[in-house]
Structure 1
């Protein structure tokens, strides 16, 4: 099963900061996320909900996807958030604190009801689930297959390490197992994996190095908390010229071998068989070739 095309960058914008939302209109991010959760103080939750609901229908998408991160199911605020923001302008919700499949199923049922009562196509509001705890990671394979509207999973590094009782470090060795398991579970389910944010938004070298490492594990994109991170994410998670040149040559060589009745061919001293060919085809599909 091949992982479908997925967003390379998602720019998170505090839902209470209208100036930031307006600034995000010019971002080259593949998706813009209006956040009602962690970046909004408890006292401002209602005001942020109103602002985001008002802004959604008039936000210029320009080919981007538009998501909202509501508050978690256990806060008692999620139902109000979804009631306010579900409309045809919304592409999806980035659902926090998905510790087990039941959380995802509950939200899926509520979205189905809202879509039906508002004349929207069933399943039109997509979900990306945040894996933010040891419990969520332990169930990530089931979570990834829990609902058809689920298109991806994200690893929330700060909450996840807090659930383990360990420090979040710059080297991120404590995330290695979680990243690998999330990426593998997503690929097995045929959905995308998005790496979580880097808190030090001033350190572009750190962001780029962590993004490249995440890509090497199978992640398709990265969550951005500052506009300056978006171009880096887009670059890292896009095939470069060298990769595309390799992929085109692999496809050409393998297809020529097939016409000759060969199951594998040689290219530059290396064997090209069907798995290598399929990897090249997928790489080209992500570039639009």
Structure 2
């Protein structure tokens, strides 16, 4: 999965209006939310609504995820029972504070796949890293289940667990972003940056996305459709990057297997630079 989810749009599972609007948003993934955006009194109705729309919701190349309630909420079993089936790509698990949480949910999914005739492992997982405790074990969490496609940084909950305030420059997230991105890369899964609550401040969202990309993130969680295009652009190479990568790849390959380092555009190019160019070009 690593690298293909530039944007994931969160849609409140209790809102038919927002679900309807999401049908045409050009995001890479949609996450129907049963957790934070749904009031306690509306949980059961949201579960029924999401379960009813999932089988026929137009994917159009997008992945369809559900964020259930947390493992310790007493609600996740009913959430998974309602939504696991045709049309569901995966479960975006909140409050994944330790590897055991991933293992337990993996067991639930294995059972549901078996009784519903789904291919083993077909329902994927992403884990929300939302606390200092989770971040301290993120390397183990990234290896806790073969279903795991990626990890996401829950910025608000994480900073709350630290007892610090969220700021516009997000300096308080620097360590968490770097460690999470490194753990994801080491495990071969994706890293998704957390949401920006001020959905009207699009320049701020774009700056955050570019900062996250610079430290190794693959995409960003969006809470408003207007953020999606910015995420898609921020986490994709621009024309200059692609042209430079093509020159590097072509020159290195033309030099042959014995090339150690060559010069391209006045800069040294060795094998790590060449491999990075291939990543930009989509693994050519």
Same fold (TM over 0.5): yes
Unpaired runs of 5+ residues, structure 1, are none
Q: Does the CA contact (< 8 Å) of 1:192 and 1:219 recur in 2?
A: yes
Q: Hey, what does 1:215 align to over in structure 2?
A: 213
Q: Structure 1: which 4+ aligned runs deviate by more than 6 Å?
A: none
Helix, strand or coil: the match of 1:201?
A: coil
Q: Does the CA contact (< 8 Å) of 2:30 and 2:64 recur in 1?
A: yes
Q: Hey, what does 1:158 align to over in structure 2?
A: 156
Alpha-carbon offset, residue 115 of structure 1: 0.4
Aligned to 2:270, which of 265, 269, 273? Answer: 273
Unpaired runs of 5+ residues, structure 2, are none
Q: What is the number of equivalent residue pairs in this alignment? A: 284
Q: Hey, what does 2:82 align to over in structure 1?
A: 84
Q: For the residues of structure 2 that align with 1:118 and 1:147, how far apart are their CA atoms?
A: 21
Q: Hey, what does 2:141 align to over in structure 1?
A: 143
Q: For the residues of structure 2 that align with 1:139 and 1:258, how far apart are their CA atoms?
A: 43
Q: Does the CA contact (< 8 Å) of 1:7 and 1:221 recur in 2?
A: yes
Helix, strand or coil: the match of 1:285?
A: coil
Helix, strand or coil: the match of 2:256?
A: helix
Tell me the TM-score normalised to structure 1 length: 0.97
Q: Does the CA contact (< 8 Å) of 1:257 and 1:263 recur in 2?
A: no
Q: Does the CA contact (< 8 Å) of 1:69 and 1:94 recur in 2?
A: yes
Q: Hey, what does 1:129 align to over in structure 2?
A: 127
Helix, strand or coil: the match of 1:93?
A: strand
Alpha-carbon offset, residue 4 of structure 1: 3.0
- Per-residue Cα deviation, 1:122-161 (whole angstroms, up to 9, x for no partner): 1111111000000000000000011110010000000000
Q: For the residues of structure 1 that align with 2:75 and 2:2, how far apart are their CA atoms?
A: 32
Q: For the residues of structure 2 that align with 1:5 and 1:97, how far apart are their CA atoms?
A: 23
Q: Does the CA contact (< 8 Å) of 2:2 and 2:150 recur in 1?
A: no
Q: Hey, what does 2:279 align to over in structure 1?
A: 282
Q: Does the CA contact (< 8 Å) of 1:196 and 1:222 recur in 2?
A: yes
Alpha-carbon offset, residue 250 of structure 1: 0.5
Aligned to 1:263, which of 257, 260, 265? Answer: 260
Tell me the TM-score normalised to structure 2 length: 0.98
